[in-house]
Chain A
Amino acid sequence: MALLEIEKLNVSIKGTPILRDVGLGVDAGEVLGVVGESGSGKSMTAMAIMQLLPVGTEWNGAVRLGGKALETFSEKDMCALRGNEIGMVFQEPMTALNPVQTIGDQVAETILVHSGKSRREARRIAREALNRVGLPEDRFPLDRYPHDLSGGQRQRVVIAMAIALRPKLLIADEPTTALDVTTQAQILKLLKKLVDEDGMGMILITHDLAVVADMADHIAIMKDGEVVEAGDTVTLFREMKHPYTRSLFEASNHVPSRNPVNVPGRGKPVIEVSGVVRDYPLPRRSLFSAPGHFRAVDHVSLAIGRGENVGLVGESGCGKSTLTRAILALDPVQSGEIKLDGGVFSTHGHGPDRDMRRRVQVVFQDPYSSFNPRHRVDRLIAEPFFLLDEQPDREERHRRINEALVNVGLQPSDAHKYIHEFSGGQRQRIAIARALIIEPSLIVLDEAVSALDVSIRAQILDLLADLSDRLAISYLFISHDLSVVRAITDRVLVMKSGKVVEEGLTEDVFRNPRHPYTKELLAATPVLDEALKAREARAAASGLGASS
């Protein structure tokens, strides 16, 4: 009998169906990967198991945990079950912990709520749980507050809370999506170790096929509230019976085809950054000492030619955002020089004028919060016009708005709509249209596809490649996602602690990384094909072992 069995689970919110006839099963000691894009209902399935659905949600179906029918459980029974027999880990470690309680108290609370143990005993068990997740006592005493910890460390605390009572089932909802690749690798390894040690069943919810291929024994693919395909990991990926599985697979490995047209001046340097330094002041250590500073960007140089796409990768805190802000002239530089189209763009004590500013545009990560919701699309994308000395007249304005919209694959009629009428992918197209409209020399793409689903991401990458081919626009493509950088860029720079540690043609760097940090980054990046091969090799080895 399976540890968890879900049959014909239906969930609806105010009459709108969210989940339809979902059926899943997890065995003890096994990992089930639930994969899908946003809105596919994968998180809702997890919340239905926990019975923590939003107010106004109706559900029916069978959810059995170790033979117990949870659909018959009262709220009180569920409270006794949550945290005790089912632990849960969430996506966003930065906000998942109570900021005003120590980590010790928060882990101990799980134990106190479920057992009659004394506070002392609960703290002892909490200590053990924190040790198990790799937060040793000497560096992480119980009285630390969450704000002292990094994202990965906080996620470890959340995991400690979830496994403190050694539950039978652990649900991890996108546990590593908000983390850097090396941290992701560590957290996944930890989860795997805990599953093996405790014989837990685990449901791993993710949008990342490579992660799931590495971690899960079985996979369920969800789309629009339904499980479209389920099965053993290797078989599922090797056969890919359902067209949606196939399209997900293709989208996540998508490399846009390039076909650059000959534009005069292609390859001529657009932006030249030389020896740029950005310091942040630190608080004074005492009243009389001079304030120290933190060097976020340390003598960085780079150059991008016309029509060239350059990637900038590195983990959070490496200085890539600070460098971006300096290139956008949002922050002054302390030393060094940035040249644009041969003229001085920004140096110490000197920023660009309006005309220069116009020629560098940016597309940000979050398509939901980077637009004013009260303006129509035409006004939103025509916003950069104020950087022009001569405002275009009505007709010209109209023409250019239409052109920008058509360029990014939207309709001229979309100009009169509001931003909430568009999906995430369409919004990102509008953000690109806004950057394009005044014909910049350089577009900075700051994690511009990181928040998008794989299928949408593939479309946006195609669009970017097409624009670069046709219009010879240069991109500085900043991302923590190495596979995307590999797909779209010609050259790549790897940044660590404010310095560029490796630079070269993208394919060369990915094939033959020279710097140990680049090697570490690449090793930590999950790759679907390799994960599958490793899995098959393991299966073959154990099969041999069984037969011999």
Chain B
Amino acid sequence: MLPYMIKRLVSLTISLMAASLVIFFVIEVVPGDPASFMLGLNASPETVAALRDSLGLNAPAPMRYWQWITGLVQGEFGISYTYKVPVSELIADRFWVSMPLSVYALMLSTAIAFPVGVIAAARRNSPTDVSIMGVTQLGVAVPNFWFAMLLVLLFSITLRWFSAGGFPGWEAGFFACMKALTLPAIALALPQASILARVMRSSLLDTLGEDFVRTARAKGLTRRQALWRHALRNALIPVLTIIGLQFSFLLAGAIIIENVFFLPGLGRLVFQSITQRDLIVVKSVIFLLVFAVILVTFIVDVTYAIVDPRLRRARA
């Protein structure tokens, strides 16, 4: 197990270094001059030169990359050009909205998808299965922002159970915050749960056809016991892969939902920074998101090894 984890950690570090290089070069080196980008078309050459100087852009690229990386490691992300506050502060505030939202949505989608997928697989071709497949088909097709608006219409405007948007801040208490995140989490979770349930079902159906399930039945296990004790754990690998992908998507891809619900999350921050050409924020947030995605991949890899003993022996 340990060699396997070390191997995954090494590959994680290499991916991170590669990602930081790509981000740095795409944003700072490739598309011309960030200073004139920031100041717009009408800026005078003197102003641009002054800004370049104050941003430290006159230093050679490898030097600037080194400064950026060492800063990142120490938690120094620089000062935002538009907000004039440290980027780290800006990100930290948003992170504590996006992160709980993603975790919340993921827990919801998993909690829905697992039982639904298992029931559909256990009762293959029954009316239950057919209707589950129909509903999840719809769930995959419906855009989540449109679904979010329906939720607002029903629960906020008609029933008045939830507010239509905004975030009270963690000072307001855990429950107030979770309540504010509930509708966005549902809007994010349902389409994902549909995908996950379908994956769960097909993966489980595959494993139910395996020889070892027949062996289990020949031992005297009932259909249900064979499913729970033998098929389920073997069916988890593809499901875990999808969960990992979904979490990464939720963290970075919630931009539209954050906009629908006026949530001050990372997605919104990236969106705003790009329109305001606050490149230093863009760069840092993207790096953070990449870090999160790679970390989740690592966690998924480790979970694979927990589920499947064959992976615990690290292979070269």
Residues of A within 8 A of B (CB): 50, 52, 75-76, 79-84, 87-88, 90, 92, 95-101, 109-110, 113-114, 145, 147, 158, 161-162, 281-284, 291
Contact = CB atoms under 8 A, between A and B. Distances in A.
Nearest to A162: B218
A82 B309 contact: no
B316 A158 contact: no
Contacts of A109: 216, 219, 221, 229
A80 B225 CA distance: 13
A50 B220 contact: no
A83 B309 contact: no
Contacts of A114: 220
Nearest to B222: A79
B220 A97 contact: no
Contacts of A84: 220
B220 to A, nearest CB: 3
Contacts of B219: 82-83, 109-110, 113, 161
B220 A147 contact: no
24 contacts: A79-B220, A82-B217, A82-B219, A82-B220, A83-B218, A87-B218, A90-B215, A95-B210, A96-B212, A96-B215, A97-B215, A98-B212, A98-B230, A99-B234, A99-B309, A100-B309, A101-B230, A109-B216, A109-B229, A110-B220, A113-B221, A113-B225, A161-B215, A283-B315
A499 to B, nearest CB: 26
Q: Contact size class for B?
A: 20 to 34
B211 A96 contact: yes
B314 to A, nearest CB: 7
A114 B225 CA distance: 13
| Top 7 A-B residue pairs of the complex, sorted by shortest distance between their CB atoms | A83-B220, A283-B316, A83-B219, A95-B211, A88-B218, A82-B220, A98-B212
B214 interface: yes
A52 B218 contact: yes
A96 B221 CA distance: 15
Interface string B277-316: 0000000000000000000000000000001111000111
Contact of B314 (A83, A95, A283): A283
B308 A99 contact: yes
B214 A90 contact: yes
Contacts of B314: 283
B233 interface: yes
Contacts of B221: 79, 83, 109, 113
A81 B310 CA distance: 33
A282 B215 CA distance: 33
Contacts of B229: 109
B214 A52 contact: yes
A114 B220 CA distance: 8
A521 B210 CA distance: 33
Interface of B: 210-212, 214-222, 225, 229-230, 233-234, 307-310, 314-316
A96 B230 CA distance: 12
A173 to B, nearest CB: 10
B309 A145 contact: yes
Nearest to A88: B218
A284 B316 contact: yes
Contacts of B307: 100
Contacts of A158: 215
Nearest to B212: A98
Contacts of B217: 52, 82
A109 B222 CA distance: 12
B316 A291 contact: yes
B73 to A, nearest CB: 24
Nearest to B308: A100
Contacts of B214: 52, 90, 96
B212 A97 contact: yes
A113 to B, nearest CB: 5
Contact of B234 (A76, A87, A98): A98
A92 B227 CA distance: 20
B275 to A, nearest CB: 48
B236 to A, nearest CB: 9
Nearest to A52: B217
A282 to B, nearest CB: 8
Nearest to B219: A83
A340 B134 CA distance: 61
B220 A80 contact: yes
A100 B234 contact: yes
Given A96-B215, A100-B234, A158-B215, 6 more contacts: A79-B221, A82-B218, A97-B212, A97-B215, A100-B309, A282-B316
Contacts of A145: 309-310
Nearest to B306: A100
Contacts of A283: 314-316
Given A99-B234, A283-B315, A113 B220 contact: yes
A100 B233 contact: yes
A281 B315 CA distance: 12
Contact of B309 (A76, A79, A81, A147): A147
A75 B223 CA distance: 10
Contacts of A99: 212, 234, 308-310
A211 B98 CA distance: 67
Given A96-B212, A98-B212, A283-B316, A147 B218 contact: no
A81 B210 contact: no
Contact of A90 (B211, B234, B308): B211
A96 B213 CA distance: 8
A510 to B, nearest CB: 35
B310 to A, nearest CB: 5
A402 B87 CA distance: 75
B190 to A, nearest CB: 31
A57 to B, nearest CB: 15
Nearest to B315: A283
A386 B185 CA distance: 57
Contacts of B315: 283
Nearest to B7: A287
A97 B309 CA distance: 13
Nearest to A284: B316
B188 to A, nearest CB: 31
Q: Which of B215, B225, B233 gathers most chain A CB within 10 Å?
A: B215
A100 B220 CA distance: 19
B241 to A, nearest CB: 16
A145 B311 CA distance: 12
Query: Which residue, of B216, B229, B233, B234, has the highest number of chain A Cβ atoms within 10 A?
Result: B216
A89 B309 CA distance: 24
Contacts of A83: 218-221
Nearest to B230: A98
A454 to B, nearest CB: 25
B13 to A, nearest CB: 15
Nearest to A94: B211
Contacts of A100: 233-234, 307-309
A162 B233 CA distance: 23
A84 B219 CA distance: 7
A123 to B, nearest CB: 16
Nearest to B211: A95
Contacts of B308: 99-100
A50 B218 CA distance: 7
Nearest to A161: B219
Nearest to A80: B220
